[in-house]
Chain A
Amino acid sequence: MTSTVDIHSMTRRFGRSTAIDDISLTVAGGSICGLLGRNGAGKTTIMSIIAGQDRPTSGSVEVFGERPFENESILSKISFVRDNQRYPDNYRLHHVLRIAPDFAPEWSDDVAGELADEFRIPTQTPIKKFSRGQLSSVAIVLGLASRAPVTLFDEPYLGLDVTARVRFHDTLLRDYAIHPRTVLLSTHLIEESEALFDRVVIVDRGRIRVDSDSEHTGQLAFTLSGPSDAIDRLSAKRTILHSRSVSGLKSVTIQGLADADTSAEAVRLGARIAPATLPELVAAFGADTPETRDIKKGAVA
């Protein structure tokens, strides 16, 4: 499959701090890719650079084979509303909906109108006075109605009620069926959005820790929980991503796939063993354990 977004050895420094540390990432056309990780991991910076709002200190970013920075034809194919998006003074919803189509060749008034209604976005209130959820709603309307070939959602769920979240997923998938596009979505609501992704990228401290088909994330790590001594014995000589314990009980997330012997041993010792869920995986890679290693695409350790 052709890649739509191609990031190569990209680094972004802000003064002395390194926000993005030599990452490479390609996103295939038509993919709905989850960009996961803790706050400050670098998710917004990656999106911002893809959208040409920022540019790398070194390395390269290409969208449809061209660098997006100051590239008008590429920028018209990208939609990115950041989680703290600012709007011009005194703007109301109708100002946004009136001007956005000028910059988005594929804009759909129907999608915008329906969503704005269903999200109950106030029409008379200045955007400056919007609640967090209302701001998220405006961002989702812009992202979905633009039908941009590359659509970036930066924490789209912040403050959004459950009805709106369901509506967002529904509209995304319905509209995607008629107008396929490449979607990159960052979120902390992993359980709720997990089934949307065909691809999962976990970022921490500016580096890509996991890059995997969503189908295979269950093989990247497993969790063991039970009596501390049993867990210690089972996890000896293994790469522990994350561990926590409370009075004699311990739970660890271990990198790799649990083989049959380990499973049998765990059952024998009275420990519970299960593939790590995606939230567990994200939590594990966000934890400050020195042993953590990167898992490359499709890798099954």
Chain B
Amino acid sequence: MSAVISTIKLHLNQRRVTFIAPLSIAGTVAIISVLISLVFWRAGSQPGSAGWIQGSQSNPGIVYALVGFLIYAGVASVATTFPFALTLGATRRAFIAGTLLWDAITAAYIAIIFAVLNVIELATHHWGVGFYIFDIYVLGAGNTPRLLLIVFLGVLSALTIGGVFAAAWVRFGIRGPQVIAVGVIFVLGIAAIAIVPDAAAIIAAFQLWWLAIAAGVVIMVSSIGMWLLVRRAIVR
């Protein structure tokens, strides 16, 4: 157990990466969003108008920017950290448990920060000037509990996906991630072939919680995959 906690501390060792980097990325994107809004404003769009709100809320830039970083963080949490963790004396078991717990801590941290900022955004009538940064469609359109869930599951998915790819690399070298990528494409292809005839009906019946289930499945599969790949991995 102590090695699990030590592994979490190992991941938290670079505090800047864990705590500051996601915020600075989100902050940068927020500033860019504001700049874009200003361009629209100067172009004649009126803050508060239906078109303005529609346009602002559809902008998922903040999500894209974070996903890239989070997948990198997920990869780094396994790829270069695994050999060092074993050198320090962690077991593979403790390393994976600690890594998954760190993933969850990071996801919760970002979700809570986003939720707080969302509440502030709503309370200040979108920062007093009609800027939509957190109150956007992909983050639940202002619904704070929903935002919490979306961000938590989203971050956790990105981190564990990065982790499982890195775990494949640790175990099998360069071929590992390639095999996973091919496998995923293959499964998605089969699924698409199976679903396409009923696509219209499925889209019509689409419920938001399906995504939550999908994220849950991705997280589960990635986590189990990480463990299975790393439990027999050796350091080279």
Contacts and interface: CB of A to CB of B under 8 A. Distances in A.
B45 interface: no
Given A53-B86, A72-B3, A102-B88, 18 more contacts: A53-B235, A54-B235, A72-B89, A72-B91, A79-B89, A85-B84, A87-B84, A88-B76, A88-B80, A88-B81, A88-B84, A89-B76, A90-B17, A91-B84, A99-B88, A103-B88, A103-B89, A103-B90
A98 B89 contact: no
Interface string B110-133: 000000000000000000000000
Given A53-B234, A55-B234, A78 B89 contact: yes
A48 interface: yes
B112 to A, nearest CB: 25
Interface string A101-142: 011100000000000000000000000000000000000001
Interface of B: 2-3, 6, 9-10, 13-14, 17, 76, 80-81, 83-84, 86-94, 234-235
B87 A89 contact: no
Instruction: Identify the 3 closest CB pairs spanning chains A and B, nearest first.
Output: A103-B88, A102-B6, A53-B235
Contacts of A72: 2-3, 89, 91, 94
Given A88-B14, A99-B13, A103-B6, A82 B235 contact: yes
A100 B84 CA distance: 10
Interface residues of A, number: 31
Contacts of B88: 99-100, 102-104
Nearest to B234: A54
Contacts, number: 74
A222 interface: no
Contacts of A240: none
B89 A76 contact: yes
Q: Most A CB atoms within 10 A — which of B10, B17, B87?
A: B87
B84 A48 contact: no
A276 B3 CA distance: 47
A86 B86 CA distance: 11
A70 interface: yes
A95 B234 contact: no
B10 A102 contact: yes
B92 A70 contact: yes
A52 B83 CA distance: 12
